Chain A
């Protein structure tokens, strides 16, 4: 039996700015290296002996410091986990090590076309929005951070009003309450009030081409999408799912234009969906994909098709929820950006209530004004094809 815990920090990209981007990621990562009670070698030895994993990660809306351990070793693992939160060492050596690791990772972002495509997409889609400040930072912003910066940021950010603790495992709630009260519960309360993240607004379709000599073109386009708190999210999930199936069939299976066409719907507070494809014939691929959007907008889908998507969702949902860590992540996501954790348990019921008219309506409402980015050969891109439809 295992236990998964996550201490989630609200704010994400809203906590940082263009000069300190990456500070939250670096602070959390450096905190897991050593603490006052567990110097580096002791911590590594103890974690390794128990098979316990403590890690961290960030996205546009929140960060997490996570713990994964066996039930047998929960008490000791919890002790280390809370020391990471309450008394990180931030030694110069540890910070320097993690900092170098992050800088190296960030520095080669332009080498991989897919990673670079996402960077290009962020610049276009998130211009003027808090999400433009990537929570992982840039090589320049991360390089400037010092151990003192991390200590100050740690003291500022670890206030209970900004945090959410999620624990999944075979534990007694009364005992956990006592453990939390004597550790994380002693952090300053603060007066953090989450501010709603501004919605993204795209007023027209655009395409920006970044020249690079590649065997194929890497293409992605984003449109705005409903957030988890919007009633439209359920119909949009069905619509996005159908679009994915259809572009796969039309672009890959029928025409062999690409091996990896995709339509997707993300899950973030200021939400987006989109299209992705790698193709030599960029124009034809996008023409076919936009035609499929138009078909969703103009022709009602069948009720059986919706039932099929819901059945897929049910299977994928339970497959994805098999681990304690996944269940903790799901609860946190809904609590932090989905209105309330309770909204995570009735998704299936709401998907089953979606009608063909709902799917058509959300396709018309959201699948438009697409912001495309292309990495590849500018001569292979006819701008009119990209911006001429789905508007």
Chain B
């Protein structure tokens, strides 16, 4: 029981750290096997998504430390 709990916590930790370090890499990769056939969003809605995403982020600096908050 205790061992499985420890393993579970270790796996959770590894997954989170991996996400923090490489999440952007994974998100940036665009492919899976096979072709996608869906249609893309129109430019208008993409721009609104961009604006909304940017508005969620706050940035400030304390003693030279840059901080991003979302």
Contacts and interface: CB of A to CB of B under 8 A. Distances in A.
**Does B bind A?**
yes
Interface of A: 4, 6, 48, 53-59, 64, 66, 68, 159-161, 163-168, 171, 173, 176-177, 180-181, 184-187, 189-190, 228, 237-238, 240-242, 244-245, 248, 264-267, 305, 307-317, 320-321, 323, 325-335, 338, 341-342, 344-349, 351-352
B25 interface: yes
B7 interface: no
Interface residues of B, number: 50
A60 to B, nearest CB: 11
A321 B27 contact: yes
Contacts of A237: 28-30
Contact of A64 (B9, B20, B28, B67): B20
B7 to A, nearest CB: 13
A58 B9 CA distance: 20
Contacts of B22: 59, 267, 329
A66 B20 CA distance: 7
A11 B9 CA distance: 29
Contacts of B25: 266-267, 333
Contact of B60 (A177, A248, A329, A345): A177
B31 A329 contact: no
Contacts of A6: 20
A4 B26 CA distance: 18
Contact of A331 (B28, B35, B36, B68): B68
Given A244-B31, A267-B24, A307 B67 contact: no
Interface string B33-64: 11111111101001101100110011110111
Given A4-B16, A314-B41, A329-B21, A348 B32 contact: no
B27 to A, nearest CB: 4
A241 B20 contact: no
B57 to A, nearest CB: 7
B8 to A, nearest CB: 10
